[in-house]
Amino acid sequence: MAISVGTAAPDFTLKDQNQKEVKLSDFKGKKKVVIVFYPLDWSPVCTNEHACFVNDMKKFEQLDAQVLGVSVDSAWSHKAFADKMGIHYPLLADFHPRGAVGEKFGVYLADKGITGRAIAIVDRGGNIAWFRNYDIPTVPDLNEVSKALDGVN
């Protein structure tokens, strides 16, 4: 079951591509957070999705938001993927236990062993302000995401 808008975002701590721990609650009161759940590094749609984020990063920075990518890949895979794609925002490894954070947000697909494609916007208060599930083969419309983000405090 996907998480509901208006509820508190489940806190988590995961390692990024540089082995640095990133905790969602560290952004509370400071920045809005865009959590990008995606199935796997290196897949064609995920590669296109992250290319869009890299190209539009200035827009997200202007909206005072931290982008966090989350998938079940290892930190090592994230590191190679980030280096290849020019990704400078954290890619978080929901690796062990596999999909635990995705499960908290209702986006882990246990039968496939991957995270589904979804985007959650967390407001500065730590609540889910916007959430959307996407079909796995669909690249999210980042204009829609940034428009939603613009309306969030």
Q: What is the pLDDT along the chain (153 residues), one digit of tens a residue?
A: 779 999 999 999 999 999 999 999 999 999 999 999 999 999 988 888 988 898 999 999 999 999 999 999 999 999 999 999 999 999 999 999 999 999 999 999 999 999 999 999 999 999 999 999 999 999 999 999 999 999 998
Query: Between β-strands 114-115 and 108-109, what pairing exists: parallel, antiparallel or unpaired?
Result: antiparallel
Per-residue pLDDT at 104: 97
Query: Between β-strands 91-93 and 128-134, what pairing exists: parallel, antiparallel or unpaired?
Result: unpaired
Per-residue pLDDT at 2: 74
Per-residue pLDDT at 52: 85
Active-site residue 52, yes or no? no
Q: Which tokens hold the place of 122?
A: 């967390």
Cα(83)–Cα(132) distance, integer angstroms: 28
What's at 149, amino acid-wise? Answer: L
**Apex 60 CA angle, 64 and 152, nearest 5:** 55
pTM: 0.96
Cα(123)–Cα(128) distance, integer angstroms: 6
Which of 35, 46, 65, 70 is an active site residue?
A: 46
